[in-house]
Amino acid sequence: MESEIRVQNADFREIRVTFPYNPSFIEKIKTIDGWRWHPEEKYWSFPNENGTLDKIISMFDGEKVIIEPSLYFDKLRKELTSRKYSPKTIKTYAHYNENLLRFTRKNPIEITNEDIRNYLSYLASNKNFSASTLNIVINALKLYYGDILKKNFVFEIKRPRKDQKLPVVLSREEISRLLSVVANIKHKAILMLAYSAGLRVSEVVNLRLEDIDTERKLIHIKGAKGRKDRFTLLSDTTLKTIRI
């Protein structure tokens, strides 16, 4: 029976390797700097440093090696961090790239144009992804395969047509009924801020008292989508609720 070698990620600081007892594998694994054997959990660990994963893959060439997808995208995370992408965007981009590997059961070097097309088709048909979400997936794949791995085929991927959907708009009466059933004044103030000022959930959560200018009746939104600051209006009704 073919021995299976599993390579896993531990909080991006450590690489863990497990395999059935094999003297040849043990001899190989000990040639990598920084190794530690954990007898109780029965795994080998290594610092997640540049080149460690490549050494493990090369060392066990020809063997059945199963690598956790997240281990491949350390370069992607570093690139996004250096470009000042938000933690949420970094997590999203890594997720869709990892998901592609799970879908294809391939490593990044083996991924083809057809693999990406099939993946996008699956997300659109089976997962009902909207055009805007598919565009985020495409952005994530193009950044990794195009900018980092220099695979030009990814730039041939066509973007989906935009959905022609009208937003759901509540009437004044519906908004009034919604607010009337909220007993907690703090929760009501949050809802009123979001509705009257047109704030995103993340913007409401990150709002600080000093961001609200009660004299000029303005709200300063800092580091919003696209890392842009902006001002929006503070309504009289919302101001009264905040002051309660």
- pLDDT tens, residue order, the chain (244 aa): 467 899 988 766 889 999 999 999 999 999 999 999 999 999 999 988 878 888 888 889 888 888 889 888 988 999 999 999 989 999 999 999 999 999 998 989 899 999 999 999 999 999 999 999 999 999 999 999 999 999 999 988 989 888 767 677 888 888 888 888 888 888 888 888 888 888 888 888 888 888 888 888 888 888 766 677 888 888 888 888 877 6
Domain 74-156 CATH (choose: 3.40.50.300, 1.10.150.130, 3.40.190.10, 2.40.33.20) = 1.10.150.130
CATH superfamily of the domain spanning 172-243 = Intergrase catalytic core (1.10.443.10)
- pTM (two decimals): 0.70
Q: Do the strands 212-213 and 43-47 form a parallel or antiparallel pair, or are they unpaired? A: unpaired
Question: DSSP character for 226?
Answer: G
- Rounded to whole angstroms, the Cα distance separating 110 from 107 reads 6
Sign of torsion over alpha carbons 96, 101, 102, 104: positive
Q: Residue 183: what are its φ and ψ, rounded to 5°?
A: -80, -35
Question: DSSP character for 105?
Answer: T
Task: Report domain extents, the chain.
Answer: 4-67, 74-156, 172-243
